[in-house]
Amino acid sequence: MEERQRTRRPGGRGARVGAAVHQAVTDLVNERGYGKFTVGDVAARAGVADSSIYRRWGNLEALLADVVLTRLNARSPMPDTGSLAGDLRTYAAQVAREITGPDGLALLRLAVALSGNGEQGVQARDDLLAERARQLESMLDRARERGEHAPDALGVLDHVMAPMYIRVLFGLGPLTADYVDGLVDRLV
Amino acid sequence: MEERQRTRRPGGRGARVGAAVHQAVTDLVNERGYGKFTVGDVAARAGVADSSIYRRWGNLEALLADVVLTRLNARSPMPDTGSLAGDLRTYAAQVAREITGPDGLALLRLAVALSGNGEQGVQARDDLLAERARQLESMLDRARERGEHAPDALGVLDHVMAPMYIRVLFGLGPLTADYVDGLVDRLV
């Protein structure tokens, strides 16, 4: 077993460990909530040594930040449908699916909790928001280049993302397609 | 001292204990974050016995729920200015002051954390939202009786409250008067 692992390229094993650790964090956030588990709990759940986590992430906050950043960003690639309304509807539907999915609420709660948790958390929040804003701006720029009138990225945050985030965070019913399309149509 | 306290009416002492315990909870949420303190910590900070807290609130979740409910609701009385735009601008400015004040972020984070924390938390969230919705509906009904066109309470949540909540939760700059008025004006 040890021999077999040594012959695999490091990236392969690193990626597997990363995925197992990320999933363990998401599961523990779901089951116990933020602040209720340790690096040791994550390691045990993921089947890795504590030292592997400390070596790669440094501490629990940095690991949590990495999980939120990776999952909330990687799951929303930006659409390019040819019209601003189409792009925003598709993007909003992706975000709605992501935050109402099995890990969505846990990830949103983690994003909120991290924002108030020292430098690592603030850095993670800033990275997450900067990445989202960059993605959104490129979509809005494409619309302006086509001659469409486009709101700014903060307008999208305020009137499309924020209502969905708050409805999920406060447990206010499902985000239906009609509801999500309505948010976009009122903005555009 | 003991003699002096006995001669006070029970409501007076109860109210003082309640206020001290509520402030202790808010301070601990601010300093350590949700999930990082116990009933014993609250009791020590408030200068009361653990048993006083268990007798009055039953458990920590119920106490936290009571704090969020009391503070977020009591601090936003509904205005009655004679026009919907005036009412909503005044109300939104009150909410903005409340959630950007010294305890605002801690209370918002607590509201989010509670929504995912068992029956007590869900009950607290539902009570908070029902009370807010009831207050808002009475404001919107008054507008309709004056012949004004009014959105529903969820529209106010989505386009006035949610953007302010998310900007504070994610630490996105101050809520200026222009920004808050702009949210109301776009809705009305």
Q: Which domain holds residue A24?
A: 2-58
pLDDT confidence tier of residue A117, bands split at 50, 70 and 90: low
Verify that B111 and B25 share a domain, yes or no: no
Within-domain flag for B45? yes
Within-domain flag for A115? yes
Please indicate whether, in this complex, the C-beta atoms of B172 and A33 are within 8 angstroms of each other: no
pLDDT in tens, B16-69: 889 999 999 988 988 887 778 999 999 999 999 999 999 998 888 888 878 887
Q: Which of B105, B122, B166 sits opposite A166 (nearest CB)?
A: B166
Per the prediction, chain B carries an average pLDDT of 84
pLDDT in tens, A7-63: 444 568 888 889 999 999 988 988 887 778 999 999 999 999 999 999 998 888 888
CA-nearest residue of chain B to A115? B170
Final residue before a domain boundary, out of B58, B81, B101: B58
Helices (H), chain A: 2-7, 10-32, 39-46, 50-57, 60-74, 84-100, 104-115, 118-145, 153-156, 162-169, 177-187
Please indicate whether, in this complex, the C-beta atoms of A109 and B113 are within 8 angstroms of each other: yes
Within-domain flag for A63? no
Q: Which of A113, A117, A163 sits opposite B158 (nearest CB)?
A: A163
Rounded to a whole number of angstroms, the distance from the CA of A4 to the nearest CA of chain B is 42
Q: Which of B144, B109, B142 is nearest to B26 (CA)?
A: B109
Verify that B92 and B166 share a domain, yes or no: yes
Verify that A52 and A72 share a domain, yes or no: no
- Tokens matching residue A157: 């945050």
Contacts across the A-B interface (CB distance below 8 Å): 87
Verify that A74 and A52 share a domain, yes or no: no
Within-domain flag for B138? yes
- Asked whether A48 and A19 are in contact (CB, 8 A), the reply is no
Within-domain flag for B33? yes
pLDDT in tens, A129-149: 787 788 889 999 999 999 999
CA-nearest residue of chain B to A155? B163
Higher pLDDT: A142 or B71? It is A142
Within-domain flag for B20? yes
Residue at A2: amino acid letter: E
**CA B161/CA A162 separation, integer angstroms:** 9
Contacts of A103 in chain B (CB under 8 A): none
Question: How many folded domains does chain B comprise?
Answer: 2
CATH code for the domain of A171:
1.10.357.10
Write down the pLDDT at residue B11.
62
Verify that A132 and A39 share a domain, yes or no: no
Residue of A129, A166, A175, A181 for testing the chain B interface, max B β-carbons within 10 Å: A166
Residues in chain A whose Cβ is within 8 Å of chain B = 33-36, 105, 109, 111-113, 115-117, 122, 125, 129, 157-159, 161-163, 165-167, 169-172, 183, 186
Verify that A109 and A41 share a domain, yes or no: no
**CA A175/CA A48 separation, integer angstroms:** 37
Please indicate whether, in this complex, the C-beta atoms of A166 and B170 are within 8 angstroms of each other: no
Rounded to a whole number of angstroms, the distance from the CA of A114 to the nearest CA of chain B is 9
Verify that A78 and A152 share a domain, yes or no: yes
Within-domain flag for B135? yes
Contacts of B188 in chain A (CB under 8 A): none
Final residue before a domain boundary, out of B58, B76, B105: B58
Q: Is A174 exposed, middle or buried (0-12, 13-18, 19+ CB in 10 A)?
A: exposed
Cβ-based neighbours of B105, under 8 Å, separated by 6 or more: A116, B99, B168, B169
Contacts of B158 in chain A (CB under 8 A): 159, 162-163, 166-167, 183
Verify that B50 and B84 share a domain, yes or no: no
Verify that B46 and B81 share a domain, yes or no: no
Verify that B46 and B94 share a domain, yes or no: no
Rounded to a whole number of angstroms, the distance from the CA of B120 to the nearest CA of chain A is 14
Residue of B31, B37, B100, B112 for testing the chain A interface, max A β-carbons within 10 Å: B112
CATH code for the domain of B28:
1.10.10.60
Q: Which of A7, A9, A48, A46 is nearest to A27 (CA)?
A: A46
Verify that B37 and B80 share a domain, yes or no: no
pLDDT confidence tier of residue A83, bands split at 50, 70 and 90: very high
3-state secondary structure of B75: coil
What sign has the CA pseudo-torsion B59, B61, B64, B66?
negative
**CA A155/CA A170 separation, integer angstroms:** 22
Contacts of A168 in chain B (CB under 8 A): none
**CA B16/CA B48 separation, integer angstroms:** 11
3-state secondary structure of B132: helix
Residue of B119, B169, B175 for testing the chain A interface, max A β-carbons within 10 Å: B169
Residue B146 has pLDDT above 70, yes or no: yes
Please indicate whether, in this complex, the C-beta atoms of A34 and B34 are within 8 angstroms of each other: yes
Residue A109 has pLDDT above 50, yes or no: yes
Please indicate whether, in this complex, the C-beta atoms of A166 and B171 are within 8 angstroms of each other: no
Verify that A82 and A131 share a domain, yes or no: yes
Within-domain flag for B63? no
